[in-house]
Amino acid sequence: MTKHVLFIVTNAAVIGPHNRKTGFFFAEVAHPFEVLDKAGIAVEFASPSGGWTPYDAYDEKDPAQKEFFESKAFRRLNRSRKLSEVDTADYDAILVPGGLGPMVDIQRNPLVQEAIVRAWNTNKFVTAVCHGPCALLGVDLGNGTPFVRGKKVTGFSVKEEFDYAREDVPYELEEALRAEGAEYSSADNWQPHVVVDGRLITGQNPASAAPLAKELIAALQKQA
């Protein structure tokens, strides 16, 4: 039986006091998509506003990115469904890619939080990579406890942000996750690092996007 994964992607094209161009980080959609697609897993796309999803850091020299850029899937992504019209219980997993865009319209977004709660409460996998774990902040399963409290997670580190977008982001993701009680860990800058804590799977940075998808496939196969 075909498994289905919903990518929840940003609609934000700029961020911060300097109006830095942003969107989703292209590799963090293209690489997981390639891994999931080759495994026969169906991928659909939603975003807070629906429709166009701006992107950042496209590298045409990367075969996976070029292939995705030229694919029907990329065209579908740019006609993404409105998150309010999607029920995450209809999927086996959700995946929130990073880039700086999510720090604008994904983080602490009530629609995104509802989507995460719905997925979690219906025994689906919740996954996010790089800045994508900002989606987990402020999520409450109904008992007043932060969703990430006591959970093992990763995400873009303070050390990585120092050289990347420190002046553009509204807060440090690592610090915000720790503040809500997450057991945060990281590897060296830009090195792959994926943390699996039950049905919650997080990746640290762009290099972690494909490994995260592989961990998700392994988890879905175990569940089958």
Residue whose token pair is 């999803």: 53
Q: What pLDDT, on a 0 to 100 scale, did the predictor assign at position 224?
A: 67
Cα–Cα distance for residue pair 186/5, rounded to 1 Å = 25
Q: What pLDDT, on a 0 to 100 scale, did the predictor assign at position 196?
A: 98
Cα–Cα distance for residue pair 68/201, rounded to 1 Å = 23
Decide: 155 and 204 in contact? Cβ < 8 Å.
yes
What are 138-194's pLDDT values in tens digits?
Answer: 999 999 999 999 999 999 999 999 999 999 999 999 999 999 999 999 999 999 999
pLDDT band at 223 (very low <50, low <70, confident <90, very high): confident
Please say if the pLDDT value at position 98 is more than 90. Answer: yes
Joined together, the tokens standing for residue 147 give 């969703």
Torsion sign (Cα): 189, 106, 112, 217 = negative
Q: What pLDDT, on a 0 to 100 scale, did the predictor assign at position 74?
A: 98
Share of residues in the chain with pLDDT > 70 (%): 100
Cα–Cα distance for residue pair 119/182, rounded to 1 Å = 19
When the pLDDT of each residue in the chain is averaged and rounded to a whole number, the result is 98
Q: What are the phi and psi torsion angles at 74 (to 5°)?
A: -65, -40
Q: For residues 78-97, give the mean pLDDT.
A: 98
Joined together, the tokens standing for residue 95 give 């995946």
Strands 152-153 and 20-21: unpaired
Total-model pTM = 0.98
Closest listed residue to residue 94, CA positions, set 41, 58, 141: 41
Q: What pLDDT, on a 0 to 100 scale, did the predictor assign at position 179?
A: 98
Joined together, the tokens standing for residue 19 give 């109006």
Please say if the pLDDT value at position 1 is more than 90. Answer: no
Q: For residues 24-45, give the mean pLDDT.
A: 98
Cα–Cα distance for residue pair 178/64, rounded to 1 Å = 33
